[in-house]
C-alpha cells in the first residue's frame, strides 16, 4: 500500500475531495516527521512509499506564504519559538487542518481512517510507536 492508496481510501471514507484529502494526509505525516522520536518514523515512512514526499510537500514548518498570516501566524511563530520545533510543528499542523475548511468531525474521520490505513501498511506496532511519540496529535485529531 502506497501513500496514494491511503489518500484514496481516506477520501472515500471521510467524504473529502482528493486535493483536500492529500493536504490532510500530507499535513499529518509532516507533523509526524517533525515530532516523532528516533528512527521509528523513518521505518514508518519506508513502509508507505510516497509518504515522506507528501510530508515534504505539505511541510508544516515551511515558511508561511508571502503576505499571509496576520495575528495567527505571529502567534504560531511565537509559540513555536517558545515551545520548540516539536510543538511548533503540531500547532502549525492543527492550524493547517483547520484552515483547510474542514470541521472537527471531518478532521477526526480523516485522521481515524488515516491511522487505520497506516496500521494496514506499516503494521499496528510501528504505527502505534510513531503515534505514541506524538501523544498530543491523537488528542488534536479527536481519536485514541
Q: Where along the chain do its domains lie?
A: 3-141
* pLDDT by position in tens, the chain (length 144): 999 999 999 999 999 999 999 999 999 999 999 988 777 999 999 999 999 999 999 999 985 544 445 545 545 454 444 444 556 888 889 889 888 888 888 999 999 999 999 999 999 999 999 998 887 887 777 665
The per-residue b/e assignment along 86-106, b for 16 or more CB within 10 angstroms, e otherwise, is: bbbbbbbbbbbbeebebeeeb
Q: What was the pLDDT predicted at 144?
A: 58
Q: What was the pLDDT predicted at 139?
A: 78
Cell numbers at residue 83, please? 515551545
- Residue 19 C-beta-side C-alpha neighbours within 13 Å: 2
Q: Are 30 and 97 in contact (CB under 8 A)?
A: no
62 alpha-carbon distance from chain centroid: 14
Q: What was the pLDDT predicted at 13?
A: 95
Closest by CA position to 116, among listed 105, 128, 104: 128
Q: What CATH number has the domain spanning 3-141? A: 1.10.490
Amino acid at each position: 500500500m502506497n501513500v496514494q492508496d491511503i489518500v484514496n481510501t481516506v477520501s472515500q471514507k471521510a467524504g473529502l475531495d482528493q486535493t483536500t484529502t492529500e493536504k490532510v494526509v500530507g499535513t499529518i505525516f509532516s507533523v509526524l516527521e517533525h515530532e516523532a522520536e528516533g528512527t521509528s518514523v523513518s521505518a514508518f515512512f519506508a513502509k508507505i512509499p510516497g509518504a515522506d514526499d507528501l510530508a515534504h510537500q505539505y511541510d508544516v514548518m515551511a515558511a508561511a506564504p508571502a503576505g499571509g498570516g496576520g495575528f495567527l501566524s505571529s502567534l504560531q511563530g511565537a509559540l513555536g519559538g517558545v515551545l520548540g520545533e516539536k510543538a511548533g510543528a503540531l500547532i502549525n499542523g492543527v492550524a493547517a487542518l483547520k484552515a483547510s475548511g474542514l470541521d472537527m468531525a471531518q478532521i477526526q474521520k480523516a485522521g481515524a481512517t488515516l491511522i487505520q490505513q497506516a496500521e494496514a501498511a506499516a503494521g499496528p506496532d510501528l504505527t502505534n510507536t510513531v503515534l505514541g511519540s506524538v501523544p498530543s496529535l491523537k488528542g488534536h485529531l479527536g481519536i485514541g
